[in-house]
Amino acid sequence: MRYVVQFDLSTYVWICLILVLSFTLRSFISSASNAVSLVIIGTVFALALNPLVLAAERRLKVGRIPAVAIVGVGLFVTASLVVLVLGPPAVRETTEFRRDLPQTIEQFYDWPVIGTPLQNADASNKVVDWLDTLPSRLDDQTLRDMVSSLLGGAWSTLLVLIIAFGALLDGPRLLKLGRTLVPMRYRGQADEVGRIFYETLGRYFGGSVTVAAMMGLYVLAVGLLLGVPLVPLAAVWAMLTDLVPQVGGFLGGAVFVILALSAGALTGFLALVLFVAYMNFENHVIQPLIVGKAVDLTPPTSMIAVLIGGAIGGVPGAMLATPITGAAKVLWRVTSGRTRTA
């Protein structure tokens, strides 16, 4: 028995359009990857902050500009407090980490499988020699590269903030301007498409930032309780990587557990158990409560979307892939429901 599958001509047209759009987007991002990444990250940051701005407008009964200024000052004060509170302990623990690292490595000599090779390789003394000779291996070019990277990171952060607050200030005006460019008979449909994408992306990124902040606070609290070295840096890293879909938890947890292992085998084991327990609690309780049904996708669909988004746009593409796919699914449900009703 033979089965013949026939596709409508419009299906081929849509497939070709999607392929052309994907290759065009890929070429555009490749040619201006840094600028596009900054714009995307700044826009995402603005979407995450917009609910705070709207809340300030509503509760304080102020205009858009004062509300954005209030949110900006609040973020600056919060960031300053974080630096003042976590900065000195991070510097102090860096010094202690360098001093205690050889003794920590010697603790692994008693471990099965890896203990004997480490002892035979005299790993502890080699680490001491490497740390002692590290300053002499930092030539002028290396130092210049480090300073250049730090300045570049600071400049990129400043640009992201400028883009984000510019979008917060001018976003409503730009939306009104864009709406006037849409023909009158399509404005209702355009408004609905914009509303779906805004609600999905705004709720997703706003909730994701909240969940990521909770992850950072949890890692900080557990690390301080267990005596994990460099725990402020591990907490910041866990918070940032928690924003990356699918693999973010592994990236943040791996660094935290490795640092915990440097304080001892039992500390590393407890850190692993507590981190895995919290990850399950976050995935099954916190994430559904805060983010909710903003992105109603199955895990395989989310993974495929992240892989495609990462291949096209790197980390920003991976971050945007899941909410955009979720918004497209909601839009498809709305339009298909209307078609069936008609």
Where do the domains of the chain lie?
Answer: 30-181, 184-342
d(CA 295, CA 200): 7
Q: Is the pLDDT of residue 37 over 80?
A: no
229: left (phi over 0), alpha (psi -120 to 50) or beta: beta
Determine the residue type at 70: I
* Residues 107-150 pLDDT 10s: 777 777 777 887 788 877 787 777 777 666 666 666 677 777 77
pLDDT on residue 138: 63
Mean of the pLDDT values across residues 141-162? 77
d(CA 273, CA 286): 18
d(CA 143, CA 138): 6
Mean per-residue pLDDT of the chain: 78
Q: Cα-flanking dihedrals φ and ψ of residue 244, to 5°?
A: -85, 120
Q: How far is CA 116 from CA 61, 81, 100, 112, 125, in A?
A: 68, 46, 21, 8, 15
- With a pLDDT cut of 90, the percent of the chain lying above it is 10
What angle do the packed helices 187-226 and 299-341 form, to 10 degrees?
A: 160
Q: Is the pLDDT of residue 103 over 80?
A: no
